[in-house]
Amino acid sequence: MKISAVIPAYNSAAFIAEAITSILKQSTPVYEIIVVDDGSSDDTFAVVQGLRGPIRYHKQENCGPAAARNQGIKMAEGEWIAFLDADDQWTSDKIERQLATLTRYPELHLLAGDMSEIDLSNAVLTASVLAKHGLLSSYIEAQGRPIVNALSKLLHKNFIPTGTVLVKRDTLLAVGLFNEAIHFGEDLELWAKIAAYYPICCMPDLLMLRRLHHHNATHATVSMLLDNIKVMQALRLTIGLPLQQQGLKPERLVADAYAAVAYWHFNLQEYPQARRASLDSLRVALTRRALVYGLLACLPASCLLLLKQVKGFVINLFYSVKVKAQHCKFLIYGFK
């Protein structure tokens, strides 16, 4: 079986050597490493050129990571595709572990796994991201078996780090690759389309080290929230029936995405934008969240200020009572 590793790179000279080296040192070698340089202006090419191995380099105009990964998929000669970002690293037996799981469950079309988070000096910040989100125990129990109702679970919490993925190339082509019109969440959209029709798994094994730094830090910006609307709209159009079969309402997913934008604007006191987003949400489906924040955004600023003060008072009162109750319990019973 041939495996092609695809690395999208943009001004990645500082870290890409470590990324490529982590692939070259795999206990089970890959067939090729495809580096798609997405318009870098630094020494990325020089660093890649200085490394030895089955490395193919392609440079294109800057179009974003989705377009870079798609180009790598199109260039790939392997039947299976693995992804890695240029500032991350694979663990040394990543491919070996995934192939062992695939041997046990040959029906799988996509295999993902756990990852650690590291800093600029490779010090571990988070040992297990699955554990961090309370997901590790369930995948330890599953031990790589195909996930039941994977689509529903994926949209509840995205458990697939892109750099851990090993996926059939034909499956990627069948569902339409990464959506290049989406800049945040294009990976979730693609994994959801795959999970709608094909068996997938998430292994409890540590497969990747993700480097955290200011270039890849994600914040709950309005751009991300707006792209989440695009993700849900695309899924409603492409996999509406599988969503319904797994107990999800496609319209509700879109409405909730709009409502999240309304909530964001409301917290920033951008009330006209909050009203528009709430109205967009309610046009798709009636949800309590959109209705509440849409109505609140119509109130005068003085009323909203008073409501916030009342809310703050109630919260402080609740915690004060709770602390006093705990103190009384300690005085009566002591430590248990």
pLDDT per residue as tens, the chain (336 positions) = 899 999 999 999 999 999 999 999 999 999 999 999 999 999 999 999 999 999 999 999 999 999 999 999 999 999 999 999 999 999 999 999 999 999 999 999 999 999 999 999 899 999 999 999 999 999 999 999 999 999 999 999 999 999 999 999 999 999 999 999 999 999 999 999 999 999 999 999 999 999 997 654 445 588 899 999 999 999 999 999 999 999 999 999 999 999 999 999 998 889 999 999 999 999 999 999 999 989 988 888 777 666 666 666 556 655 665 554 454 444 444 444
Residues 231, 182 share a domain: no
Q: Could you say which DSSP state residue 164 is in?
A: G
User: Residue 303 has what pLDDT?
Assistant: 77
CATH number of the domain residue 30 falls in: 3.90.550.10
Residues 278, 202 share a domain: no
Question: Quick check: is 117 in a domain?
Answer: yes
User: Residue 210 has what pLDDT?
Assistant: 96
Question: Quick check: is 161 in a domain?
Answer: yes
Tracing tokens 């995948």 back to the chain, one arrives at 139
Q: Could you say which DSSP state residue 212 is in?
A: P
Structural domain range at position 48: 3-211
Those residues with Cβ within 8 angstroms of residue 306's Cβ, 6 or more apart along the chain or in another chain: none
Residues 263, 190 share a domain: no
In this structure, are residues 265 and 271 in contact, taking their beta carbons and an 8 Å threshold?
yes
Question: Quick check: is 325 in a domain?
Answer: no
Angle at 262 between CA 257 and CA 265, to 5 degrees: 130
Residues 180, 45 share a domain: yes
User: Residue 335 has what pLDDT?
Assistant: 44
User: Residue 217 has what pLDDT?
Assistant: 45
Total number of domains constituting the chain: 2
Residues 177, 31 share a domain: yes
Q: CA-CA distance, 12 to 42, in Å (whole number)?
A: 8
Residues 250, 151 share a domain: no
Question: Quick check: is 309 in a domain?
Answer: no
In this structure, are residues 265 and 222 in contact, taking their beta carbons and an 8 Å threshold?
yes
User: Which residues make beta-bridge pairs with 112?
Assistant: 202
Residues 181, 232 share a domain: no
User: Residue 329 has what pLDDT?
Assistant: 44
